[in-house]
Amino acid sequence: MEHKPRRKFSADFKAKVVIEVLKERSTVEELSRKYEIHPTQISTWKKEFLSKVALVFESEQKPGEDKEQKEAAMEKLYAQIGQLKVENDWLKKKLQ
């Protein structure tokens, strides 16, 4: 018996299939035949999509802004670590 390699689907492909399901122009069975995917898999993707769709509207910040804020926070923390290291080394010298 020969095993087929497990197929991996991109997020774009999954979104395309789920959007087609939500449009209700075709049944899940028709889409499963069209894309050669088991109907249960399509239903699973649909449930996952619907459970996470609210995340799109939760953050009012742009993705780039969030990244910039994280980078600024990291720089601040690295500066603080550097300062603490210098102070620690200075204290070690004073105690010797």
CATH number at residue 41: 1.10.10
Q: Note the pTM of the prediction, 2 decimals.
A: 0.57
Q: Same domain for 65 and 52?
A: no
Q: What is the pLDDT along the chain (96 residues), one digit of tens a residue?
A: 678 788 899 999 999 999 999 999 999 999 999 999 999 999 999 999 999 888 888 766 566 667 888 889 999 999 999 999 999 999 998 888
Residue 80 forms part of a structural domain? yes
pLDDT score, position 1:
65
The runs of H, that is alpha helices, within 1-96 are 11-23, 28-35, 39-52, 55-58, 63-95
Distance CA 53, CA 57 (A): 8
pLDDT score, position 62:
63
Structure tokens at 28: 């899940």
Q: Same domain for 50 and 82?
A: no
pLDDT score, position 63:
61
Cβ-contact 31, 21 below 8 angstroms: yes
Distance CA 68, CA 64 (A): 6
Count of structural domains within the chain: 2
Q: Same domain for 47 and 12?
A: yes
Q: For residue 31, give its domain range.
A: 8-57
